[in-house]
């Protein structure tokens, strides 16, 4: 049986740990200094503004300020589900973001599987570059492109009319606005996901494919029984991590694409908060809606990380 450490041994160990910590801090001091500007920016723009959350529980009046505006408790949160516009914004957000999450997983996986079958390195890299380029475009640029392409005089309507059909007001039609929002988001971002899944495919042991060829497996059978199961942990990680953004349908995109004609199906929580608070002066109600969204998003993010750790062994902390 091992003897318990003496007090002198404990003091020696503590002194050794403190010395090692001091050495590590001194060694990493330049990196900590580089972090100071970012740390200050995070404090100024992420933490200090959180004091404004108090407005969600007040009937905020700009001329009275936060300190003197009357307290109304949970009244603003109750109104979220009383107003038709706010309820519709929540529904639109869930539908649009869910569509983005589903197609944002399916399309990159399919493209990665298809591109993996291209053996010409030059063609493969060229396709990767082309599909990844839209990821660097801002939504202002993409929205301008869509307005030109889908306008009455755009190339799409010219093709439709040349075939004898009637021109379609794409960005002003509430019935197809959600599909356009989801489709354009997938087009813009699937290149990044495709590269992630290609990296997962590259890590698959090639001996598995050689063994399956000896057993007479076709390319489809190899994809079904080797490639997809090997990609599954990464697919689970990407899917569960995206669950935290189910109430984040993309303010930049929707704000640059929607119009009063498409509020019914295109207005999301972020754009609704923008109009309610900044344009209509309902600062307390807008803050309450934003806080409601953030609370739900935080809960979903925690659940997503737990699911990612349980099913794929992925964890950050």
Name every residue whose Cβ is closer than 8 Å to that of residue 259 and which is 6 or more positions away in sequence.
171, 172
pTM: 0.79
What total of structural domains would you count in the chain? 2
Write out pLDDT tens, residues 250-300. 888 888 888 888 888 888 888 888 888 888 778 888 888 888 888 887 887
Supply the range of the domain harboring residue 260.
77-312
Q: Are residues 165 and 28 in the same domain?
A: no
Write out pLDDT tens, residues 214-250. 888 888 888 888 888 888 888 888 887 787 777 777 8
Residue 57 located in a structural domain: no
Residue 296 located in a structural domain: yes
- Cross-strand pairs, 71: 58
Name every residue whose Cβ is closer than 8 Å to that of residue 231 and which is 6 or more positions away in sequence.
109, 112, 197, 200, 201
12 membership: H or E segment, kind and range: helix 7-27
Q: Identify the CATH number of the domain in which residue 111 sits.
A: 1.10.3720.10
Write out pLDDT tens, residues 142-160. 988 888 888 888 888 888 8
Q: Are residues 254 and 115 in the same domain?
A: yes
Residue 38 located in a structural domain: yes
Classify residue 168 by its DSSP letter.
Answer: -
Contact between 269 and 294 (Cβ < 8 Å): no
In whole angstroms, what is the distance from residue 159 CA to residue 165 CA? 9
Q: What pLDDT, on the 0 to 100 scale, is given for residue 40?
A: 93
Q: Are residues 165 and 37 in the same domain?
A: no
Residue 137 located in a structural domain: yes
Write out pLDDT tens, residues 13-33. 776 777 777 878 888 888 888
Q: Are residues 39 and 182 in the same domain?
A: no
293 membership: H or E segment, kind and range: helix 283-312
* CA-closest candidate to residue 106, choices 235, 249, 243, 250: 235
As given in the structure block, the two tokens for residue 220 are: 């489809």
Higher pLDDT: 99 or 62? It is 99
Write out pLDDT tens, residues 170-201. 888 888 899 999 999 999 988 888 888 888 88
């Amino acid at each position: 049986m091992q003897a318990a450490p003496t007090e002198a041994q404990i003091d020696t160990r503590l002194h050794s740990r403190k010395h090692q910590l001091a050495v590590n801090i001194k060694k990493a001091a330049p990196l900590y200094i580089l972090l100071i500007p970012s740390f200050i920016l995070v404090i100024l723009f992420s933490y200090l503004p959180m004091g404004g959350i108090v407005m969600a529980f007040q009937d905020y009046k700009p001329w009275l300020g936060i300190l003197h505006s009357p307290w109304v408790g949970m009244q603003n949160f109750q109104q979220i589900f009383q107003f038709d516009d706010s309820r519709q914004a929540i529904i639109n957000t869930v539908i649009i973001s869910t569509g983005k999450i589903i197609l944002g997983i399916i399309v990159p996986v399919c493209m990665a599987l298809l591109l993996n079958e291209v053996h010409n390195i030059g063609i493969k890299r060229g396709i990767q570059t082309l599909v990844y380029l839209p990821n660097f475009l801002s939504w202002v640029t993409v929205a301008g492109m869509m307005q030109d392409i889908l306008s009455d005089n755009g190339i799409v309507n010219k093709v439709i009319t040349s075939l004898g059909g009637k021109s379609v007001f794409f960005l002003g039609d509430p019935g197809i606005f959600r599909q356009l929002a989801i489709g354009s988001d997938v087009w813009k971002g699937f290149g990044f996901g495709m590269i992630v899944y290609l990296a997962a495919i590259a890590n698959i042991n090639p001996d598995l494919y050689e063994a399956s060829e000896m057993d007479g497996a076709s390319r489809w059978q190899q994809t079904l029984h080797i490639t997809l199961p090997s990609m599954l942990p990464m697919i689970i990680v990407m899917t569960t991590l995206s669950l935290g953004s189910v109430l984040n349908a993309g303010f930049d995109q929707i704000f640059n694409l929607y119009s009063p004609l498409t509020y019914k199906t295109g207005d999301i929580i972020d754009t609704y908060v923008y109009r309610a608070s900044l344009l209509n002066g309902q600062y307390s109600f807008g803050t309450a809606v934003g806080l409601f969204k953030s609370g739900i998003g935080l809960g979903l993010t925690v659940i997503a990380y737990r699911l990612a750790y349980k099913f794929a062994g992925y964890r950050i902390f």
